[in-house]
Chains A and B, each alone.
Chain A
Amino acid sequence: MVQYSQTRFDASFAALSDATRRGVLEQLGRADASITELAGKFHMTLTGMQKHVGVLEQAGLVTTEKVGRVRTCRLGRRRLEEEAAWIERYRQLWEARFDELDKIVDELKRKEKADARKQRE
């Protein structure tokens, strides 16, 4: 299992604590976009949007690339890795629960059979 450091946790936590930044992530989840496009969508100045993207970039949630005069933003690889790691953790929790539940279902089944046998006797 991948280990995550507290610093990394804090960085994504801070990055996600802002509604605009969460909106930007959602937007980038649909399609890559330039800073100008994002600024327009969120009714912000270019500088304001640059700051938000900077925070997301530092947290590894977004990567940017400048081609000519346009800076394009896309979801960072870390974002996708984190999602996969989280889903796997969550799956393991339920797997552990369901393994116990398996035993209980088995026990109930046997008990039911035994009760039915007793009734016939």
Chain B
Amino acid sequence: MHASRESEMARMQDRTRVERKSGRELVFTRTFDGPARLVFEAWTKPELLKRWWAPKSTGVTLLACAVDARVGGSYRFEFGHPASDKPMAFFGRYLEVIPHARLVWTNEESADGSVTTVTFEEKVGKTLLVMHELYPSKEALDVAMAGMEGGMPEMFAQLDELLITLGAGAAR
């Protein structure tokens, strides 16, 4: 009984894969048991996004979620965490929206934010989802990694400040 639960856990953990494809890219893959149009709907309707973007296990709560999933439309997520008095905001714009197939958006909360591309590929009722994050440089991804090491919101805030400084430095 115990062993079978463990093997089930191992299988579950295997379902989301992530790979650093290059210095500036991360690629996530996961298959969902449903057609692409439904998975896409859950990524673009705020009332559905709200229900999965801040899972309980992460300790954060979603304070605000505004999504206008059209080309040029913007989005904004605000999270709260018990260890931080300031909410963390994540925001950007949609660059591409192809219903049931493809979403591309910017991440503008930091000067060195990535561009995220999500594709939805349907095969016999299941959907292969590929999420691709492209950072402006290898350094941007390295800094993101160093900053998120502790995973605490105040470190995100520190990282944001650093990124702003770095952004100013890079512009010189």
Contact = CB atoms under 8 A, between A and B. Distances in A.
Nearest to A23: B139
Interface stretch (B30-38, B63-71, B100-108): B30-38
B149 interface: yes
B32 A101 contact: yes
- Which of B30, B129, B165 neighbours the largest number of chain A CB atoms within 10 Å of its CB? B30
Nearest to B34: A105
A86 interface: yes
B17 to A, nearest CB: 8
A16 B170 contact: no
Contacts of A90: 18, 26, 148
16 contacts: A9-B155, A19-B169, A23-B139, A26-B139, A29-B23, A82-B145, A85-B149, A87-B20, A90-B18, A96-B57, A98-B16, A99-B55, A100-B51, A100-B52, A101-B42, A104-B51
Nearest to B158: A13
A93 interface: yes
Interface of A: 4, 6, 8-9, 12-13, 16-17, 19, 22-23, 25-26, 29, 82-83, 85-87, 89-91, 93-106, 108-109, 112
Interface in B33-64: 33-35, 38-39, 41-42, 48, 51-53, 55, 57-58
B28 interface: yes
A89 B21 CA distance: 17
Determine the main DSSP class of B at the interface with A: helix
A101 B39 contact: yes
Contacts of A108: 34, 38, 41-42, 48
A93 B42 contact: no
B162 A17 contact: yes
Contacts of B48: 104, 108
B13 interface: yes
A16 B52 contact: no
A26 B138 contact: yes
